[in-house]
Chain A
Amino acid sequence: AQSVTQLGSHVSVSEGALVLLRCNYSSSVPPYLFWYVQYPNQGLQLLLKYTSAATLVKGINGFEAEFKKSETSFHLTKPSAHMSDAAEYFCAVTQANQAGTALIFGKGTTLSVSS
């Protein structure tokens, strides 16, 4: 079975500060990993994905994530937070190259950005 654990249900940063949202995964097979963002009363929007190519993945809005197999981690970072980054962020996992599997999501991390 696959799962992801997001460490910290709530992260607060100041505008301009580094954003670090943590995600650890558990998978017995090579995983595909994703980060999604959800703004209030909206659906989820894909930020970035890891699909076994480059371990450092760049996404939209200046976010990036690094796949570290040895640490089973896929942490999301952004060098400088903006007020518009305030949202809920979800890490998700699925099986690589396996038809018939769906995304399994973590519990989410709410990011607050203060001025």
Chain B
Amino acid sequence: DARVTQTPRHKVTEMGQEVTMRCQPILGHNTVFWYRQTMMQGLELLAYFRNRAPLDDSGMPKDRFSAEMPDATLATLKIQPSEPRDSAVYFCASGLTTGDAFFGQGTRLTVV
């Protein structure tokens, strides 16, 4: 059963600490998305990659967020330094076309 795997599922950290979230896309999918979900803003697109190359990261605060795909089986989203306003659920999704995004279970981040 192919699925997108995200780790960790939950993360509590102190303000100022570095946070790294990982995503394993579905094997063979060439597009990976990072979304952030909050009550106030809903689902926001942070960044996405096609064939491991970043296509759009305009949704990310550049000074503290970074997204990479070291290889086809791993995508990472880092926040350094983290702030309380970064508390949210972060979703990774993968797909083969611009649609059909398959979502992971998400990483629930709490910054205290």
Contacting residues, chain B, for A98 (C-beta < 8 A): 98
By the criterion CB–CB under 8 Å, are B48 and A102 in contact? Answer: yes
Most buried by B among A36, A103, A107: A103
Q: How many A-B residue pairs have CB under 8 A?
A: 58
B contact face: mostly helix, strand, loop, or mixed = strand
Question: B103 touching A34 by the CB < 8 A rule?
Answer: no
With a cutoff of 8 Å between Cβ atoms, the chain B residues found around residue A32 in the complex are 98-99
Contact string, A80-115, partner B, CB cutoff 8 A, digits 1/0?
000000000010001100111111111110000000
**Cβ-defined contact, A43 with B56, below 8 A:** no
- Are B42 and A46 touching (Cβ within 8 A)? no
Q: Would you call B43 an interface residue if the criterion is a C-beta within 8 Å of the partner chain's C-beta atoms?
A: yes
Sorted nearest first, the 8 A-B pairs with minimum C-beta distance are A43-B103, A105-B43, A44-B103, A107-B42, A94-B98, A32-B99, A102-B48, A43-B105
A and B contact pairs by CB, cutoff 8 A, 10 listed: A34-B99, A42-B106, A44-B43, A46-B101, A90-B43, A102-B48, A102-B56, A103-B101, A107-B42, A108-B42
- Identify 18 new A-B residue pairs, CB closer than 8 A, beyond the known A49-B99, A102-B48, A103-B99: A34-B99, A36-B103, A42-B106, A45-B103, A46-B101, A49-B100, A51-B99, A98-B98, A99-B50, A100-B56, A100-B98, A102-B33, A102-B55, A102-B56, A104-B45, A105-B35, A105-B42, A107-B42
